[in-house]
A and B are shown apart, each in its own frame.
Chain A
Amino acid sequence: MVSAIVAPAKAGVQEQPAGFAALDSRSRGPLAGDSPADPRRGNDEGDAFRSLFASLIAILLATLLASGTAPAADRFITVASTTSTQNSGLFEHLLPQFTRKSGIEVRVIAVGTGQAIKLAEKGDADVLLVHHKPSEEKFVADGFGVKRLDVMYNDFVIVGPKTDPADVKGLKDASAAFKRVAEKKAMFASRSDDSGTHKLELELWKAAQIDPKAHSGVWYRELGSGMGATLNTATGLSAHALSDRASWSQFKNKGDLAILVEGDPRLVNQYGVILVNPAKRKHIKAKDGQAFVDWLVSADGQKTIADYKIGGEQGFFPNAAKATN
Chain B
Amino acid sequence: MGEATILPLELDRVSFVVGGAPLISDVSCTLAAGPRTVILGPNGAGKSLLLRLCHGFLQPTSGRVLWHGANGVDPLRFQAMVFQRPVMLRRSAAANILYALKLRGIPRPERERITADVLGRTGLARLADKPARVLSVGEQQRLALARAWALKPQVLFLDEPTASLDPAATFAVEGIVNAIRAGGTCIVMTTHDLAQARRMADEVMFLHHGRLLEKTPAASFFAAPASEPARAFLKGELSW
Interface residues of A (CB under 8 A from B): 1-13, 15-20, 23, 27-28, 31-32, 35-36, 38, 40-41, 43-46
Contacts and interface: CB of A to CB of B under 8 A. Distances in A.
Say what secondary structure dominates the interface of chain A. loop
Contacts of A28: 113
Given A2-B70, A31-B112, 18 more contacts: A2-B67, A2-B71, A8-B71, A9-B72, A12-B78, A17-B3, A18-B152, A18-B184, A20-B114, A20-B117, A32-B110, A35-B116, A36-B112, A40-B92, A41-B92, A41-B128, A45-B99, A46-B102
Interface residues of B, number: 48
Nearest to B154: A16
Contacts of A16: 3-5, 78, 152, 154, 184
Contacts of A10: 4
Nearest to B73: A9
Contacts of A35: 112-113, 115-116
Nearest to A24: B113
B95 A11 contact: no
B92 A11 contact: no
B64 interface: yes
B1 interface: yes
22 contacts: A2-B75, A4-B69, A4-B70, A4-B71, A9-B5, A9-B71, A9-B72, A12-B78, A13-B152, A13-B154, A16-B184, A17-B184, A18-B183, A27-B116, A28-B113, A31-B117, A32-B113, A35-B113, A38-B129, A40-B95, A41-B98, A41-B129
Interface of B: 1-8, 64, 66-73, 75, 77-78, 91-92, 94-95, 98-99, 102, 104, 108-110, 112-117, 128-129, 151-152, 154, 179-180, 182-185
A2 B112 CA distance: 35
Nearest to B185: A18
B101 to A, nearest CB: 10
B4 A15 contact: yes
A277 to B, nearest CB: 62
Nearest to A26: B117
A12 B104 CA distance: 11
B5 A6 contact: yes
B91 A44 contact: yes
A101 to B, nearest CB: 63
Contacts of A1: 64, 66
B146 to A, nearest CB: 13
